[in-house]
């Protein structure tokens, strides 16, 4: 793969692997988690995002996006005087030329991601490498990085040749050989398990968990020498039950995995749904209370599994 669709690159990240890291977000994900905080990374496709508060139509009468759109997806909402420009999202999402983005001087319109070459990604990594402390490296995230596995594998191979530590945050939802091939070049991994019951997993993610659990098992049996931490988002009333935590702990103990990371729910991605013209299913959801998180942590500890809450992972 000559290019990859990347929706963000964050330098100097300290919560996604050991040391200061360059965190690369790859677009495309086979799951559809109802609480996802990165909706712009779900599809392997560029989409237009509209930041309404930046729109200059109400202040200056600007309609440049309306004038250049070949699909008539952008239009003036006459029902609301002075309102920002409105969009027909179905027509907008079918666009591949993005005239409106290029015409918007106020930057109220932006693309959800950028196609980048290997050289471009490597240049970013080499730029950041100058400022890493000991133990820094690159972390592949998403979306799901394995959706663009050929590109990820090539960058990971380059990193290893350059003595750069590699990490991945993954759902492990990929063909097993694809997963194992990429993991050969990874030093550190966070692997998500959303729920231990496959039917409940499918209910909120759109897919069952069998492939994920099988891939984790295959990775352990392969003798992979890296460090693996099982991650779970804490979603109230869904996967925060004692039964689910104990089932996850049993699965881990049976495979010699002794580190878990609970990620408290947050609504930081709420505005991105608005920018994409989508409804956020968890807009009114509240975070898991601290005492509940501590109880979940205690359940793991009772099973002799080190459990880190939020960003408290020990590197």
Give backbone dihedrals phi and psi of 188, rounded to 5 degrees, phi first. -145, 140
Q: What percent of the chain has pLDDT over 90?
A: 89
Q: Which residues contact 254 (CB under 8 A, 6 or more apart)?
A: none
Residues 242 and 188 in one domain: yes
Of 111, 140, 164, the one marking the end of a domain is 111
The reply to whether 315 falls in a domain is no
User: Which contiguous run of DSSP H or E holds residue 138?
Assistant: strand 137-142
Q: Is residue 314 part of a domain?
A: no
Q: Indicate if 102 and 196 belong to the same structural domain.
A: no
Q: Over the stretch 248-266, which tens digit does the pLDDT of each residue have?
A: 999 999 999 999 999 999 9
Q: Which residue, 51, 27, 52, is CA-closest to 39?
A: 27
Nearest to 103 by CA among 144, 141, 69: 69
| Calpha distance 16→143 (Å, rounded) | 15
Residue 222 sits in the same domain as residue 105: no
Same domain membership, residue 155 and residue 225: yes
Number of domains comprising the chain: 2
CATH number at residue 17: 3.20.20.70
Q: Are residues 53 and 27 in the same domain?
A: no
Stated pTM of the model: 0.95
Q: What is the DSSP letter of 309?
A: E
In this structure, what token pair is assigned to residue 59? 């202040």
Q: What is the pLDDT of residues 84-117, one digit of tens each?
A: 899 999 999 999 999 999 999 999 999 999 999 9
Range of the domain at 224: 3-44+114-309
Same domain? 269 vs 125: yes
Where does the pLDDT of residue 79 fall: very low under 50, low under 70, confident under 90, or very high at 90 and above? low
pLDDT digits (tens, 9 = 90+) for 17-30: 999 999 999 999 99
Q: Is the peptide bond before 235 cis (omega within 30 degrees of 0)?
A: no
**Cα end-to-end span (Å), the chain:** 32
Q: Do 68 and 166 belong to one domain? A: no
For residue 128, CA distances in Å to 22, 111, 135, 163 come to: 7, 24, 13, 14
CATH number at 72 reads 3.30.70.20
Residue that finishes a domain, picked among 58, 82, 111? 111
- Residue where one domain finishes, among candidates 88, 111, 134: 111
215 with 235, same domain: the answer is yes
């Amino acid at each position: 793969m000559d290019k990859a669709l990347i929706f963000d690159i964050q330098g100097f990240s300290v919560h996604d692997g050991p040391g200061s890291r360059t965190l690369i977000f790859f677009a495309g994900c086979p799951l559809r988690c109802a609480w996802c905080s990165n909706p712009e990374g779900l599809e392997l496709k560029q989409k237009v995002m509209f930041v309404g508060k930046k729109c200059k139509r109400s202040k200056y009468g600007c309609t440049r996006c309306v004038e250049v759109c070949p699909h008539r997806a952008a239009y003036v909402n006459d029902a609301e005087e002075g309102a920002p420009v409105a969009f027909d999202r179905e027509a907008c999402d079918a666009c591949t030329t993005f005239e409106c983005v290029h015409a918007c001087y106020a930057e109220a319109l932006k693309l959800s991601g950028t196609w980048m070459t290997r050289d471009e990604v490597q240049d970013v990594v080499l730029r950041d490498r100058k400022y890493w402390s000991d133990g820094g490296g690159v972390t592949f995230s998403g979306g799901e990085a394995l959706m663009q596995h050929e590109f990820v594998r090539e960058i990971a191979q380059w990193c290893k040749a350059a003595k750069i530590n590699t990490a991945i945050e993954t759902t492990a939802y990929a063909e097993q050989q694809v997963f194992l091939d990429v993991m050969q070049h990874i030093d550190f991994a966070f692997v998500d398990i959303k729920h231990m019951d496959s039917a409940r997993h499918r209910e909120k993610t759109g897919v069952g968990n069998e492939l994920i659990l099988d891939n984790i098992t295959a990775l352990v049996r392969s003798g992979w020498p890296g460090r693996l931490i099982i991650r779970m988002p804490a979603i109230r009333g869904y996967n925060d039950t004692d039964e689910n935590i104990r089932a996850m702990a049993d699965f881990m103990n049976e495979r010699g995995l002794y580190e878990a990371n609970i990620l408290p729910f947050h609504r930081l991605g709420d505005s991105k749904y608005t920018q994409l013209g989508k409804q956020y299913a968890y807009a009114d959801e509240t975070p898991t209370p601290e005492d509940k998180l501590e109880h979940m942590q205690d359940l793991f500890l009772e099973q002799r599994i080190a459990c880190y809450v939020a960003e408290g992972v020990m590197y």
